[in-house]
Structure 1
Amino acid sequence: MRLRRASIADIPFLMSTERQPGYDRLVGRFTEQEHIANLADATAAYQIALGDDGHGLGFVFFRDLDDAHNNLYIKRVIVAAPDQGVGTAMMRLALDWAFSEAGAQRIWLTHLPENLRARALYTKLGFQQEGVLRHAYGKTDGTRGDLMQMSLLKSEWAEIRVREIQIGLD
């Protein structure tokens, strides 16, 4: 698996991946125009995970690349085929990119409390829960929902990667 930055040509993949059943409820979805605007935004980056055959496996969407304090926000993490280990491998590569190439000192994200798959992934990768953003999310049914906020520091990620290398995960 490898990552590459997305381009306008990737919009069909981005849209089809985030339009899988249930994803709109758990992670949301952008319109084509929103994807175009995000791709044109110098403060944002889509990192697409590609398999050995070059096909897209998923993507991570980062925001705030220009943050004065080097806090990057992960807005969206989506895989084309859940529960096959793609998310973990993709996120490892994305976090390596964010900390080494994008200059992040801290990466933060939010997720719905009921998105247990996301929480398990982020916890496995070393993210720490910071708190609850009460009624911060407008759901598709018109109700409001809480968001769980988590973060990972560059120093924590460096320690995790050393341990992973020692046990042969890298």
Structure 2
Amino acid sequence: MERPDTRIHGDERTLLDLFLDYQRATVVLKAEGLGDQDGARRLLPSATTVTGMLRHLADVERSWVAETFAGLPYDRRFGSDDDPDGEWRVTEADSLAEAIADYQAACAESRRILSGRGLDEQCVAGPPAQLRWVLLHLIEETSRHAGQLDVLRELLDGVTGE
């Protein structure tokens, strides 16, 4: 996956969107090329897996952008209020490619919802926050998990790099 060039200048919104898209692309880059078995492999004491991470990040996108910012319902595909960690329960029968595609779809949906929206606009639901805060939170969350994926990928097949 090609990542956007972050060495550009622009206004605040342009740069926030650019850095978020860079981290989104990094997540996909770290997951691509693995098979379903490696995507489901648990290497830590927790339920953390590559496939689970992609599912979680798709849920994060939908939760913060569709539900919290825009007030839209969203389908929590894996898990529920009664099962908040459902996205982390992964087996070798779960498709990593489908998780990647779903994450990319969630990111595209977020871009569509946020297109033309101002950074000072308030969230419709949830805690009182502006779009600016939501974008910063998504950058933080996505970046943190991209780093975890980097380590998982190295442990799985030795691939290192950006």
Same fold (TM over 0.5): no
Higher helix share: 2
Please identify which structure carries the higher strand content.
Answer: 1
Q: TM-score, normalised by structure 2?
A: 0.25
RCO comparison, higher one (Cα < 8 Å, 6+):
2
